[in-house]
Structure 1
Amino acid sequence: MLSLALLVAPVALTSCVTAKRYDDLQARQQTEAQARTAAEAQTRQAKADLQKANDALAELRLDQKRLINDSTQTGNALRRTRVLYTQLTDSYDKLLKNSDRALADRNNDYGKLAKDLATREAELGALDVSLQKSKAELATREAKLTELTQALADKDKAVNDLKARVSKALLSFNSSDLQVKLKDGKVYVSLSEQLLFKSGSTKVDPKGQEALKKLATVLQEQKDVNVVVEGHTDNVPMRPTGGIQDNWDLSALRATDIARLLTSAGVEPSRITASGRSQYVPVAANDTPQNKAINRRTEIILTPKLDELFQILDGNSGAKNGK
């Protein structure tokens, strides 16, 4: 009996322990199930809340898109405002970081800019004054150029008229003995030795005197013409005779005698210049008798006075008219 009791006692004890554990396990499972149920409920609620939030966000985005689409100008203004806001924020941050230094530097910059601006304005003022002066000078030069051009045209016309008058007055003389031509704005009257002088003589022959008197008649009417008489010889040396030593003397004395004749015929002496050029300004090679005869000549060079032109160049063109 005792042995049976000892065997039954452990079995009964084991059964009690197992039932308790089972109850505890079952209770724990219920607790976990409740917790899981609660967590699932919370998850569903969180998902529902999230869905509502997403729906609300989508609605807000849709509203925002509508507002943007319906009000482009407002959107542009908003963007500009944001840009300005960003710029102002950046400027404000920079000023906060180094306000004193930035202000001092800015003031210095403003001072430099103001000084540069004043300098530039002064330079601009001076440049404007210079420009106005240049314009005035240009206008004066243009007026002077116009006046000078007209004076040159008048001078050319006067020279051509003078040539025509001289040519007409001397038309009766042989062209081989007397030629009238224009050169360098002057009228050249070239007279051969045959027309004016005998060989070695310094006195003008009667036929030559007739030509000079006709020329003097024209020159009396042309009082603004200067007269240069140039005597020329060939390269044959002059034999000393009387007061003539060489070709220099011969050319100079011939020019002087012609000058006297023009003066006697009424041309003012102050307008006449006599010069001897000897053999040193030939118009042909002294290699044949014909060419030597061509070189033995007297040239009377008629030059209109250029006083008016010089006055224009000197800026005193009004002096002649008493201005």
Structure 2
Amino acid sequence: MRTPLCLTAIAAVGSVLVLTGCGGRDLGYKDVELAELRRVNAELEAKLAQKDTERVVEVVRQAPSTATDVDTAQKAVGDKASVSTRPSELVISVESNVLFKPGSADLSTDAKSVLNRVAALVKQKYPNHFVRVEGHTDDEKISRSKDKWDDNWDLSGGRARGVLHYLNKQGIATKDLGYAGYADQRPLAPNANDSARAKNRRVEIVVIPK
């Protein structure tokens, strides 16, 4: 008995063309699903960013005249970041375990919420400032993610760059952004135990007057 030839048809589903082949398999179905998931995810991220922005605007608006810049910024960005100052600089520090998975530079959901607030704070209160994103690691050598990063210099720079791109996406101008990776060369504490190493793995967002 001769095997029947497989015919390929093009079927329109809504406004999306889906290719079907032998056995009725929809060759484009997964692409349609993926596109829809991306659309929904983008909408959710936009709503989250708007909510975070509104929160920061309200914090800045209601800040008493006696409040310091550190007090206002800390309340604006929330308890997953810490705010301090250097001479003429405001420093917003976020530990890497809030921002990334181990060995990764992909931002977590928590990271995006914190960075939404940082971006809103800069735009609301520091519009004429430069923002430098600084990446820091502990002193442990790269091992499990060696296929992604050559060393801690590479990892710290990659993480800082990822944060920079997200802040840019949230409306901080390209000309007002820069980044640096310092590897393990600027620890906050000696890398003597896991707690100290976790503290040293961080990204610092430094707000500097022009």
TM-score band (shorter)?
A: 0.5 to 0.7
Provide the C-alpha distance between the structure 2 equivalents of 1:292 and 1:246, rounded to a whole number of angstroms. 16
Q: Which residue number in structure 2 is paired with residue 218 of structure 1?
A: 121
Cross-structure match for 2:74:
167
Structure 1 residue aligned with 2:195, among 268, 287, 290? 290
2:146 & 2:175 partners in 1: Cα distance? Answer: 31
3-state SS in 2 of match to 1:230: strand
The separation in 1 between residues aligned to 2:70 and 2:177, in whole angstroms, is 18
Q: Which residue of 1 aligns with 2:24?
A: none
**Going by fraction, where is helix more abundant, 1 or 2?**
1
Does residue 273 in structure 1 map to residue 178 in structure 2?
A: yes
Runs of 4+ off more than 6 Å = none
Alpha-carbon RMSD across the aligned residues, in angstroms, is: 1.6
**8 Å contact 1:165–1:218 — kept in the other structure?**
no
Equivalences for 1:1-323 in 2 at 5 Å? 162-171=69-78, 173-174=79-80, 178-221=81-124, 222-239=126-143, 241-305=146-210
CA distance in 1: counterparts of 2:121 and 2:192, whole angstroms: 37
Paired with 1:234 and 1:261, the residues of 2 have a C-alpha distance of 23
Q: Give the aligned residue type for 2:83.
A: V
> 1:238 and 1:210 mapped to 2: Cα distance?
28
Distance 1:304 1:219, change over 3 A: same
1:15-56 CA-to-partner distances (Å, cap 9, x unmatched) read xxxxxxxxxxxxxxxxxxxxxxxxxxxxxxxxxxxxxxxxxx
SS in structure 2 of the partner of residue 200 of structure 1: coil
**How far did 1:162 drift?**
4.4
- The alignment partner of 1:203 has SS state of coil
Give the Cα separation in 1 of the matches to 2:206 and 2:82: 12
Equivalent residues of 1:202, 1:253 under 8 A apart: yes
Q: Secondary structure at the match of 2:165?
A: helix
SS at match of 1:187: strand
Percent identity over the alignment? 28
- What CA deviation, in whole Å up to 9, does each residue of 1:256-282 have, x standing for no partner? 000000000000011111110001111
Give the AA of the match of 1:219.
V
What is the distance in 1 between the residues matched to 2:187 and 2:129?
Answer: 25
Structure 2: which 5+ residue stretches go unaligned? Answer: 1-66
**Larger Rg: 1 or 2?**
1
TM-score (norm 2): 0.64
Equivalent-residue separation in structure 2 for 1:280 and 1:218 (angstroms): 29
Q: Amino acid of the residue matched to residue 134 of structure 2? A: E
Quote the Cα distance in structure 1 between the aligned partners of 2:77 and 2:148.
Answer: 32
**Residues 1:268 and 1:165: Cα distance change in structure 2 (over 3 Å):** farther
Measured in 2, the distance between the counterparts of 1:163 and 1:262 equals: 20
- The CA distance in 1 between the partners of 2:170 and 2:105, in whole Å, is 18
Distance 1:247-1:294 versus aligned 2 partners, 3 A rule: same
* Counterpart Cα distance in 2 of 1:271 and 1:294: 27
**How far is the alpha carbon of 1:231 from its aligned partner?**
0.4
CA distance in 1, matches of 2:158, 2:204: 14
Supply the distance in 1 between the matched residues of 2:209 and 2:72 (Cα, whole angstroms): 14
Unaligned residue ranges in structure 1 (runs of 5+): 1-159, 306-323
Deviation at 1:225, TM superposition (A): 1.0
TM-score by length of 1: 0.42
